Copies of this chain bind each other. A is one copy, B any other.
Amino acid sequence: MKNLRLYDFLPSGNGYKIRLLLTQIGMPFERIEVDITKGESRTAEFLGKNSNGKIPVLEVEPGKYLAESNAIMIYLSEGTEFLPYDPFFKAQVLQWLFFEQYSHEPYIATPRFWISILNKAQEYREVIEQKREPGYVALRVMEKHLSNHAYFVGERYTIADISLFAYTHVADEGGFDLTQFPAIQDWIERVKAQPAYISITEELKH
């Protein structure tokens, strides 16, 4: 796997998952900024890479593209310490990845996008309000699990943690109050203490 090229948007949590994992695996890659606030993921050229018009997209070799952050993470982490080999543990990782995309990201990530990236909190206030309670439901599911587990699966750091960390640790930028979730807060600190950790908007030197 050489010449990996990541089509990415720096403030994106979904893009950050891939940046963080590649950095922790120690795999070099080229990052190409796609400003989704300027429609750059909806051009005909970009739609040729991902017909769903979303970043991140990983070009695994020239002309071979892969979309969906969690699918990319599974692809990259097979055979590494970040994805368990045991079939049931691996399935539990997958379970949390689908939880993240279905029950967590749509409620936690989008208010942050409207409030802190687009700076349009007022314009989006109604839909932000609709997302508040399901977002807290997802955080309560995480808090309950982390109350007696150090990490999401197998008591070690995996891509399940990376996936859920990406938008949870910046949930306050979407108006969520994390102070009521002590187990989540402790887990955030454990993730930040991992080797080769980089922050969400840290520019990479490659």
- List the interface of chain A (C-beta within 8 A of B): 51-52, 60, 64, 66-72, 74-75, 78, 87-88, 90-92, 94-95, 97-99, 101-103, 105-106, 141, 144-145
B51 and A66 contacting across the interface, CB-CB below 8 Å: no
How many copies are assembled?
2
Q: Among A51, A66, A69, A91, which residue has the most Cβ atoms of chain B within 10 A?
A: A91
The reply to whether B78 and A66 form a contact with Cβ atoms under 8 Å apart is no
Q: Given the known A-B contacts A74-B91, A75-B87, A103-B52, are A68 and B98 also in contact in the complex, defined by CB atoms under 8 Å?
A: yes
Asked if A94 and B106 sit within 8 Å, CB to CB, the answer is: no
Verify B78–A95 contact, CB threshold 8 A: no
Contacts of A103 in B (CB 8 A): 52
Task: Establish whether residues A52 and B91, one from each chain, have CB atoms under 8 Å apart when the complex forms.
Answer: no
Q: B75 and A91: CB pair below 8 A?
A: yes
Contacts of A72 in B (CB 8 A): 91
Residues in B neighbouring A105, C-beta threshold 8 A: 102
Bound complex: CA A98 to CA B101 (Å):
7
